Structures are given as structure tokens and as C-alpha cells.
A and B are shown apart, each in its own frame.
Chain A
Amino acid sequence: MATVEFREVRKVYPGGFEAIKGVNLGIEDGEFIVIVGPSGCGKSTLLRMVAGLETISGGQICIDSRVVNNLEPGQRDIAMVFQNYALYPHMNVRENMSYGLKNHGFAKDEIDRRVQEAAQILELSPLLERKPREMSGGQRQRVAMGRAIVREPKAFLFDEPLSNLDAKLRVQMRLEIKSLQKRLGTTSIYVTHDQVEAMTLADRLVVMNGGIAEQIGTPAQVYDKPSTTFVASFIGSPSMNLLSARFQEGKVLVGDISLDLDVKGLPGQFEFGIRPEHMDVVPGEGDVQMKVELVEELGADSILYGNPFGTKEFFQARVNGKSGLKSGDTVGLRFHRDSLHFFDSITKTRLNL
């Protein structure tokens, strides 16, 4: 149990590439933090710096108020769950889970006790004598977690642990990880590129892009008030519609279409965002009329694709249940007034009106 702090953390590789450009983050004791972002954004690098698997080029990382920059991985009292589990193939489950404790000098009784307890929590007790190659992906993943649990570390580090599992198993394991963490109360840092995983697991999210943390906040904050266009389009599926717009005579002008959205104080040019789920199909004209080019019937809801504003990309609208529409139909869309987003067209940051 501990706090973890990032103070102006930077990572520069030999050759000059700056992978992390200055991250500040304070993680509370027992918090479940998810670092999310596209490939190459630096999220794994950040995690590995906490683990001591990457050196820190600038700034400090503190675990439990202690600066750990120069401590070796084995000295930091952390445990890690790797993407490909990294189970020692020549050891059975019990030995895999005991290895770390053995190295730290724990007594045999204590080791056995902890292994039994962890095995029980993770339902691994019948598998203790098996080798990794004799187990399924889901089982191996639980062994990897067991190895972390027995250490009772200051923090758990997860490096995309569910990426190698099939979709159904992923959902199941997600729930298991969340409830496990709640039960144990250990501070956890979890890295993923899957925004659904991020939203469901996190107490708070860190959305990373190009080595910078673009927003740190709860899932609700990140969803309701994304601080940049990147966060806005990364979080939420299907993605938010983002359009270049102008403000003229109190109305929002997108291309040739004029929208009367009851907003004040917008600059001349800006980016306008509206999520597909924050609009209704209405009889009549609504805010804008859209000719439906494509309909995706997903069962629980439907996505309508069209191009009402003459943009390069499709505009998406989400409707509950079956849409009853087909390609060629024209619909009126009305946007929810409390779910409009505006961003500065140069800095791409949120305009709070």
C-alpha cells in the first residue's frame, strides 16, 4: 500500500528520441490508475520506469514518498504482470509464485501460506503442480497475477495483461482484476490501449499522447469534459464527431450549415464536437438534415453514417434499438444542448464557456 508520484518525469533514449516529455501525476494509496493511449504514446515506457526496467532521464518517481530513481527493480517492492505473463517455463505454478519471496528471504512457512492464500483467491489450488505449458491463456494470466499478489507489494503494475486473451475472456478477467484490487486495496497502475478497459477499470485515467499526459481525471471527467480533441476522440466509441466551425452572428457555422445552438462567447474559429450518442433523430428538420449513406444495425443500437456537413469523414449518429432506416433516407438530427464540446482550433484544448 503506498502512494506513487511522478514529478516532471522525462525519458530520452540515446539517439535523442524523447519518449516521455514531462509527466506529473500523484497516485493515492489504494487507487487504480489506468494509463491509456495509442501505440507509441509512451504508456508502457512510463510503467517500466516505475518498475525500474527503464532508467529515468529527468524528474523523479517516488514510491511511498521515497525517490526510487536509482533503485533496482528488485529493491522497489513492486510486482508486475506482463503482457505475455513471463512465467518461468521450467517451474511449476507453485515455484513460479514462490520465486520472488524466496529471493527476498521469506521463511518457507510464510511462503507456503501466502501461495496457498493467493491460489485460493485466484482458484489456482488444483493447478499448483502444473507447468505453464500445460495451462490455458486465462490460467497463465491468473498465475501471473498470483505471483504479484503473494509479494504483497507497495504497488501492482499491469502491462496490457489482457491483450493476448480472446474477447469474452477479456471481459471476464477485467471484472476479476477490478474486484481483486478492491478486495486487496493495493495501489495499481494499469496500462492498456483499449479505452473500454480503461473506462471500466479506472478510478482515474491518464490519457497519453506522444509522451505527454493530455488529461488526468475520472472516467466521467474524461468523458464529459475532455480537455483536448485527442482525448475527446480517443475516449468513447464510436468516436466523437469533430468539425471545424466558425462563429457568426450568434450561430455556429459548419461549412454551409448554420446551427442555432444557444451558445455565447465563442471565438471566430474553433472545433466543434458532438458525440454520436448525444443527438436524437427527430421528425422534421432538427438542427441539421442528414442523408443516410450507411446503417450499422448492432442489435442494441444502430449507427447512422452520413455527410451532412460535406466533410472528408463520415458523421455518425447513434440511435437506440433498430433504426428502421435504410441507405438513402433523410433524417433530422437534434443535438443535446448540454453535451456540446468546443475546442481551440490551434491548441486543440477545451474552451470552457
Chain B
Amino acid sequence: MEQQTPYKHKFLPYLLVAPQLLITLVFFIWPATEALMQSFMVENTFGTASKFVWFENFSYILEDEQYLHSVQVSLVFALATTAVSMGLSLLLAVMADRVVKGAQVYQTFLIWPYAVAPAIGGILWYFMFNPSIGILAYWLKGMGYQWNHQLNGMDAMILVVIAAAWKQISYNFLFFLAGLQSIPKSLIEAAAIDGASPFKRFWDIVFPLLSPTTFFLLVVNVVYAFFDTFGIIHATTAGGPANSTAIMVYKVFNDGFVGLDYGSSAAQSVILMMLVGVFTLVQFKYVERKVQY
């Protein structure tokens, strides 16, 4: 990391980094280490003593059907949310890039969901899909489908996927639009002279050149689906029905705070930490490298 003709002061730099380092140590490193320690322990039923059990917690949850089920649920949820959200926002961004007039207006209306808390977004869609009074449930009933996310696991998954994807549309839209606008116009013009229709131009030229943005958003969206969607799950389905929407991060909370199984919750936390670590590394290594032309 190159530096900027550094100052040689003795105390000032420490003073400057101190606040961030202090808070980081107290509220990040310390709890993370505790979680790590806790993941190697098991408490007795009264919570009075704990025993060091090496990797027992880990091997237990990795064989636990419920845990593996929540891993599967998380993967399905992440894939579905990412696909829906990125697909829709790419379409919208491409259209917005074409439309010279009014692009600003459309953008203003498309960035609202970014400001809405995931939990609130969840509640809004929950309300619309409410089996008794929800407007969308009503329309679906009119088309012959009895929607009930409180009983039907698939409906519940669809509900949370829609709520999660809805929220991410703004973010993806903004980045796709920026990516599209950074492609030199002369390339599009050359392709037009080369006889390519707008459709061909998009697939042959624009989409390949958008790949750094696409890859970046892929990572961000998957991380979002794994971690930032806690509010949506907790506020709407509480992981149900029958754990059909119990994503991993929700299970950490549920097992820890509701089930009071600290060891298991800690072990799950550690696994999640490693997952985030991998994602972050991927993002920095590959996205920063950027497919350069």
C-alpha cells in the first residue's frame, strides 16, 4: 500500500485511529473471539458450568438434519433472490439507459426500496399476501390459487424471496445503470455500423462488457441474501412454516436467543463468519482485479 509522503508525528496517528480501533476491539474482536471459544464448549442444562468439547458442536450441527436443511434453505433463498432481483434490475437498467428523456424521473422512483428497512419491506409484502385481507392473495384467489404462506412452505419462500428481491432492485439498478453508462458509445456505434440490431448489440457487446459489474453484484447480492435479510424472515415468517424459511442467520438467532443453546449458536456463527470471510476475499481478490480490457 503506497503512502502519501507521510507525516512523521509520533502521537497524533495513534490518537486518530484509537476510536475506531477501540470500538472494533471491544465490540467486534472480543465478541468474535468469545463466539469462537463458545463454539468449542457445551453448557450443562442449568447453565452453571461449561465443558470444553473441541469440535463436537461442529460435527453435531454438520450432521444435524435441521441445520443442513437451513443451509439448503439459505442456498435456495439466495439463488432465487439474486436471480429475480438482478434479472429485473438489469432489464430496467437497460431500458433506462435507452430512454434519454425521463431517465432521472424513473430513477427517482426506482430507488425508494433501498431506503426501506428489510423488516418493513417484509411486512408490506406480508400484508399484501395476507391470506384473509391481502390484496395480492385476493387476486390470486380470483385466479384460482389459494395463497397461504402461513401454512404452505413454498408460498412462504416465495413471499420472502419477493420481499428480499424487491428491496435489492434499487441497488442493482443503480450499479447496472452506471456500468452501462461507462461503456464507450463508439463501441455501440461501431456495432450499429456493423449491422447489429439493438438486441444483438446487447448480447454481443454490452453484456460481455458489463461482466465486472455483474460479477460484483452477484457477490453483493448473495452476501445480502445470506445476512441482511434477517429482518425480513424474523418479521414475517419467523422461519416457518415448519422451518421452510429458516435461513442460516435466522437459525443462529433462534438457537441462541430463543433456544438458549449457546454452543450450537456459536458454532453456527463461526461457520457463518468463515462464509463471509470467503465471500469478502472473493470480492476483493477477483472484483478488484476487474476484468480489464
Contacts and interface: CB of A to CB of B under 8 A. Distances in A.
B98 to A, nearest CB: 15
B195 A86 contact: no
Contact of B205 (A51, A80, A88, A132): A88
Contact of B200 (A53, A79, A88, A103): A103
Contacts of B3: none
A99 B196 CA distance: 9
B208 interface: yes
Interface string A77-96: 01110111010111000000
A83 B186 CA distance: 9
Nearest to A75: B195
Interface in A36-95: 51-53, 72-75, 78-80, 82-84, 86, 88-90
B209 interface: yes
Interface in A160-198: none
A90 B293 contact: yes
B209 A73 contact: no
Interface string B168-184: 00000000000000001
B192 A86 contact: no
Interface centre among B190, B197, B204 (most CB of A within 10 A): B190
A133 interface: yes
Contacts, number: 62
A90 B187 CA distance: 11
B193 interface: yes
A73 B196 CA distance: 9
Contact of B192 (A53, A83, A89, A131): A53
A52 B191 CA distance: 12
A104 interface: yes
Interface in A117-168: 131-133, 147
A10 to B, nearest CB: 22
Contacts of B208: 90
A100 interface: yes
A74 B193 contact: yes
Contacts of A104: 195
B189 interface: yes
Contacts of B191: 88, 99
B63 interface: no
Interface in A181-226: none
Interface residues of B, number: 19
B292 interface: yes
A82 B187 CA distance: 9
Interface string B272-293: 0000000000000000000011
A86 B201 CA distance: 14
B194 interface: yes
A62 to B, nearest CB: 18
A51 B192 CA distance: 10
Given A84-B184, A89-B209, A99-B204, A133 B192 contact: no
Interface residues of A, number: 25
Contacts of A80: 189-190, 193
A100 B194 contact: yes
Contacts of B195: 74-75, 100, 103-104
B184 A78 contact: no
A86 B187 contact: yes
Interface centre among A75, A82, A104 (most CB of B within 10 A): A82
Contacts of A131: 293
Contacts of A133: 292-293
A88 B293 CA distance: 9
A121 to B, nearest CB: 20
Nearest to B211: A90
Given A99-B204, A133-B292, A133-B293, A86 B194 contact: no
Contact of A103 (B187, B196, B209): B196
Nearest to A153: B193
A100 B193 contact: yes
A78 B292 contact: no
A83 B190 CA distance: 11
A103 B186 contact: no
Nearest to A100: B194
B209 A78 contact: no
A86 B190 contact: yes
Contact of B209 (A53, A72, A86, A90): A90
A13 to B, nearest CB: 13
B184 A86 contact: yes
Contact of A84 (B186, B192, B196, B293): B186
B187 A73 contact: no
Given A89-B293, A103-B200, A82 B186 contact: yes
19 contacts: A51-B189, A51-B193, A52-B192, A53-B189, A73-B189, A73-B193, A74-B193, A74-B194, A74-B196, A79-B193, A80-B190, A80-B193, A82-B189, A84-B184, A89-B293, A100-B193, A103-B195, A103-B196, A132-B293
Interface of B: 184, 186-187, 189-197, 200, 204-205, 208-209, 292-293
Given A74-B193, A74-B197, 6 more contacts: A51-B193, A53-B192, A79-B193, A88-B205, A89-B209, A89-B293
Of all A-B residue pairs in the complex, the 6 with the closest CB atoms, nearest first, are: A89-B293, A100-B194, A74-B195, A103-B195, A86-B186, A86-B190
